[in-house]
Amino acid sequence: MKRRILAVDDEAHMLTLLQRIISEKTPSEIVTTNNPLEVPCLLEQSEFDLLITDLKMPSVDGMDLLRLVRDQKRAEEVIIITAFGSLETAVEALAQGVFNYTREG
């Protein structure tokens, strides 16, 4: 069975890049959304192995999505990516159980 990945980023070009890399380099299936408000519905409709999310997004950010997954005791691992990381957000993400926290650039 293919691993399923949900990628969330408010920047469409980043989602296109993630989709291309994952599709070309892995056998995984990837679902993308540029609207973090859709994530609760997507998680209700389907199970994923991994959630890749941007940290900084309007209305709901990556830390909110990490807390959602952990509060609901879901099985998805979470990777947070960001161009605007700080030591504080990295420590908070790790304390919340993030699988990986990656600062781009």
- Whole-angstrom distance, CA of residue 87 vs CA of residue 10: 23
Number of domains in the chain: 1
- Whole-angstrom distance, CA of residue 29 vs CA of residue 53: 16
CATH number of the domain within which 67 lies: 3.40.50.2300
Q: What is the pLDDT along the chain (105 residues), one digit of tens a residue?
A: 789 999 999 999 999 999 999 999 999 999 999 999 999 999 999 999 999 999 889 999 998 999 999 999 999 999 888 876 666 776 666 667 776 666 665
Q: pTM, whole model, 2 decimals?
A: 0.82
The pLDDT assigned to 83 comes to: 75
Structure tokens at 92: 């908070």
- Supply the range of the domain harboring residue 85: 4-103
The pLDDT assigned to 4 comes to: 97
